[in-house]
């Protein structure tokens, strides 16, 4: 079976996939959840940009399996999955892009400036990551205590770097060039990656499958693990992965 590598979001870490690793591992899929540079026990990279972060993922893939993998990326992890596919396509056999986007914003845009200010202002005001997590998670449509706990453990400096990283991502032009089997998963109640935007994203990827999880916010893998896992498994089986 094809190895699976799970990529977390901005406020995440490898623990965000606790309801996926045992499920897919139990089915025989070699499964690994990474910590992006600076998260968990992973060393950071310098500069903290898309090239270096995707290079770190490429090294991990080569160390883990020596064969192409399925990248399953949530939110920021979906951005990193796309970036890594563009830069290291031979390492990736298929993509699962969930609750994510083909572009965040150009670094100098008003949206990017406002996003950076909104996400980093609490840190600048002296709030802890735990306090930020407690305020943010309910706005994402989740009451998950696990999600709060995971975000609370993210180093503040890594969070700052990752927020800036997001605003440099734009791979809209590459969507039509994706040749790997691709599954796009959206949540009906997701305000961060709205389903209409994700549906358009799926339409631009040749042969992509689109799944909408009803009543689901931004943290689908944790909030609706049964439905999420079922969608991913059906995709894997359909493509013989």
Q: Quick check: is 201 in a domain?
A: yes
CATH for 61: 3.40.50.1820
Q: Quick check: is 113 in a domain?
A: no
Q: Quick check: is 144 in a domain?
A: no
| pTM of the complete model | 0.96
pLDDT at 204 (0 to 100): 98
Q: Quick check: is 49 in a domain?
A: yes
Q: Quick check: is 115 in a domain?
A: no
pLDDT at 117 (0 to 100): 83
Backbone angles phi, psi at 22, to 5 degrees: -70, -30
Q: Quick check: is 117 in a domain?
A: no
pLDDT at 109 (0 to 100): 62
Name the domain count of the chain.
1
Q: Give start and end residues of each alpha helix (H) in 88-155.
A: 110-124, 129-136, 145-152
Query: How far apart are the two ends of the chain, measured CA to CA in Å?
Result: 6
Q: Quick check: is 175 in a domain?
A: yes
Q: Quick check: is 125 in a domain?
A: no
- How many CA atoms lie less than 13 Å away from 4 in the CB half-sphere? 26
Q: How far apart are alpha carbons 65 and 136 in whole angstroms? A: 36
pLDDT in tens, the chain (241 residues): 999 999 999 999 999 999 999 999 999 999 999 999 999 999 999 999 999 999 999 999 999 978 999 999 999 999 999 999 999 999 999 999 999 999 986 555 677 778 788 889 999 999 999 999 998 888 887 767 889 999 999 999 999 999 999 989 999 999 999 999 999 999 999 988 999 999 999 999 999 999 999 999 999 999 999 999 999 999 999 999 9
Residue entry with tokens 């449509």: 141
What is the span of the domain harbouring residue 39? Answer: 4-102+171-238
């Amino acid at each position: 079976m094809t190895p699976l590598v799970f990529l977390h979001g901005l406020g995440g870490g490898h623990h965000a996939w606790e309801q996926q690793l045992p499920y897919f591992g139990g089915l025989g899929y070699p499964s690994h959840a990474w910590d992006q540079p600076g998260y968990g026990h992973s060393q950071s990279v310098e500069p903290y940009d898309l090239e270096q972060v995707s290079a770190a993922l490429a090294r991990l893939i080569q160390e883990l399996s020596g064969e192409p993998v399925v990248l399953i990326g949530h939110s920021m992890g979906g951005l990193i999955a796309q970036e890594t596919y563009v830069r290291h396509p031979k390492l990736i056999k298929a993509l699962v892009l969930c609750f994510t986007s083909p572009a965040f914003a150009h670094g100098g845009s008003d949206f990017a400036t406002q996003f950076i200010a909104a996400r980093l202002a609490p840190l600048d005001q002296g709030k802890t990551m735990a306090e930020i997590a407690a305020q943010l998670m309910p706005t994402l449509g989740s009451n998950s205590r696990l999600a709060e706990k995971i975000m609370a453990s993210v180093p503040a400096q890594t969070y700052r770097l990752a927020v800036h990283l997001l605003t440099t991502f734009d791979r809209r032009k590459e969507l039509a060039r994706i040749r790997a089997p691709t599954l796009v998963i959206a949540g009906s109640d997701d305000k961060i990656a709205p389903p209409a935007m994700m549906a358009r994203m799926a339409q631009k990827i040749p042969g992509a499958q689109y799944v909408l999880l009803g009543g689901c916010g931004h943290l689908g893998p944790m909030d609706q693990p049964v439905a999420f896992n079922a969608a991913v498994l059906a995709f894997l089986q359909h493509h013989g992965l």
